Amino acid sequence: MQSVAESLERLGDLARTPSVARLADAFQAAGHELALVGGPVRDALLGRAVHDLDFTTDARPDDIARVVAPIADAVWDVGRKYGTIGARLGDDTVEITTYRSDSYDGTTRKPEVEFGDTLEGDLMRRDFTVNALALRLPEVRLVDPSSGVEDLIAGVITTPSSPQISFGDDPLRMMRAARFTAQLGFTVDEATREAMSSMADRIEIVSAERVRDELSKLLMADEPRRGLELLVETGLADEVIPEIPALRLEADEHHHHKDVYQHSLTVLDQAIGYEKERHPGEAPDLVLRLAAILHDIGKPATRRFEPGGAVSFYHHDLVGAKLAKKRLTALRFDKSTIDSVARLIELHLRFFGYADAHWTDSAVRRYVRDAGPELERLHMLTRADVTTRNRRKADRLGFAYDDLETRIRELREQEEMDAVRPDLNGEQVMSILGIRPGRDVGQAMRFLLELRLDEGPLGEEEATRRLLTWWESR
């Protein structure tokens, strides 16, 4: 955390932001309180970039809309029932919410919405002390009823009220604790961790969509490993994505093999490194990160002990792809993400055949064709999957993949591999063979595609000759 003087200066700069100052003046003129709250205050104190501007006020939703309308470019309902109004002021999008003092019935995470009257009361119902911070405006006064600043300095995540009450009110907060360990690099205090462990099964009342969103935010942190380890250690992962803790395969003194769980975490770390190296400054790649942490989830189901003490995992790539598709579907991920992750897992072992034997141009073309739009992610995942401590082996695999990428680039330049198609189209095939649409046309097109992959571009005349020879041989 930055020095006290730097923190105060950052808070002052935040309060002087044009959109913040305009809102503060407008609410003061209307006789209402206003405070910046939560994330933006926390991030300013930590010296992190502030992206979202969230406010809280004693004004009710209708009053918020009336105060904001004259100074905003646009105003909309985010959730009037929950007291939140959204607005755009210049380049800033803001959300303003009425003080809340919600109550929960213990069977659902949806609260009975009750508006509150004080800022301090609103802050004490929030998830963690480091988020229960507010900056009163326009006077720029920090409000911290649960010693959140002390926890920021210590790098500790804990709850304003007892963790049993907080997580009982909203079990999703347990997953948010894991996410903040990844995003902020903080640790969860012992009492909070114990509550997460004892109450892990309460996450079942949270919708799959909310769990998915929280898991996605965790994975897109700079260092998601810490958060994932916390989910596994507390048992939360057993409830929301059990395939990850299942990677902790038992080993005995006679059967030695890699720790698949730790290996998968390392693959995730390394995939993120390749992602940042190849696409610096771009948004995190959720598909790549999901594929990295899930790429070996087929191993527990396919593990076999072989004679001599060896361990095999035959077809764990195919089994893992099916398991990933099933789990991500249950978590309500979109079809595109599910298909991409499953395809990467299915193909993640393909390269290792290249390292053991020289591939023909035909094999390289098939590798590119099968990867399709996932080729670059497959490059990164396959490189990340090399976690051996044997430097000679790691170098051999690295050099082999360098060679494969070079050959792909060269073939692309020669043949425009991104658009590998037969030399003849369906209309031409039907005209040459004198046939109508049907199964024969499909078989002919597959024959021509195999020719194209095996031998590269043939040209229309040679493709026609080969097609006729194939047709006659049938």
Closest listed residue to residue 124, CA positions, set 150, 149, 104, 102: 102
- pLDDT tens profile 46-57: 988 888 899 999
Q: Which residue has the tokens 């693959």?
A: 267
Cis peptide before 138 (omega within 30 of 0): yes
Mean pLDDT over each residue of the chain, to the nearest integer: 90
Strand 156-157 versus strand 74-79 pairing type? unpaired
Q: Which residue has the tokens 């299915």?
A: 346
Q: Kindly list the structural domains of the chain, giving each domain's residue range(s) and its CATH number in brackets, ordered by start.
A: 1-154 (3.30.460.10), 155-240 (1.10.110.30), 255-419 (1.10.3210), 426-473 (no CATH)
Confidence band for 255, pLDDT divided at 50, 70 and 90: very low
Q: Is 0.75 topped by the overall pTM?
A: yes
Q: How many C-alpha atoms does 160 have within 13 Å on its Cβ side?
A: 21
- pLDDT tens profile 428-450: 999 999 999 888 999 999 899 88
Number of C-beta neighbours around residue 41 at 10 A: 28
Cβ atoms of 91 and 53 within 8 Å: the answer is no
- pLDDT tens profile 142-196: 999 999 999 999 999 999 999 999 999 999 999 999 999 999 999 999 999 999 9
